[in-house]
Amino acid sequence: MIARILNQLGRRIYVYRDYPSLIRGGHTFSIIRAAKEKIATHKNRIDIILVLNQDTINLHKDKLNENSVIIYDPEFTKIEGLTFKARTLELPIEKIVKEENASEIIRNTCILGAFIKAVGIKWEILDKIFREEFFGIFTVPGLAGVLRATILVQPGLPGDCSGLITQIPICLAKRKL
């Protein structure tokens, strides 16, 4: 989804997907790099990280730095072990999902909504992609959850880096039960 959104903005995209070949699953993530010029690979640093579980921060914190932004739900993720003060954007994703009586998968779209608002992407772009991708599937509670996530976030990332859209790892794995 993020790659499609960034592509709609005229960016060239490189997506690296990583998933374990374990029957029981494991940490699954994508690294998305977007640029105006041609790109052929991802970089070994993270500008923005969208965190849906503790594994994401634990496994990727060595690629973060003082300019990185962490978007996460503090109810399920602890930001610990960093050697610098992180720029963070806390979002009560689980609370939104429960209050909207939405499916667990809406956690992904809530954090996506927070991301687009934080980096200054217009809602209409996400709405267009949702309509194309999920026509007739997206539920009212799911849409309400995404809208609430975007409303909770102030435009502009912490530290005013709203122009920073180059490399974004995203955890797509569900949290362990």
Q: Is residue 69 within 8 Å of residue 89, measured between CB atoms?
A: yes
Question: For the chain, first and last CA: distance in Å?
Answer: 26
Write down the pTM of the prediction: 0.76
Domain that holds residue 10: 2-171
**Do the domain assignments include residue 138?**
yes
Q: What is the mean pLDDT of residues 161-172?
A: 40
Q: Is the pLDDT of residue 10 over 70?
A: yes
For residue 38, give the CATH number of its domain.
Answer: 3.40.920.10
Q: How many domains does the chain have?
A: 1
pLDDT band at 169 (very low <50, low <70, confident <90, very high): very low
Q: Are 74 and 95 in contact (CB under 8 A)?
A: no
Average pLDDT, the chain: 75
The verdict on residue 176 lying in a domain is no
pLDDT score at 138: 52
* pLDDT tens readout for residues 75-87: 989 988 888 887 8
User: How many angstroms separate the Cα of 151 from the Cα of each of 14, 27, 51, 65, 145?
Assistant: 29, 29, 19, 27, 10
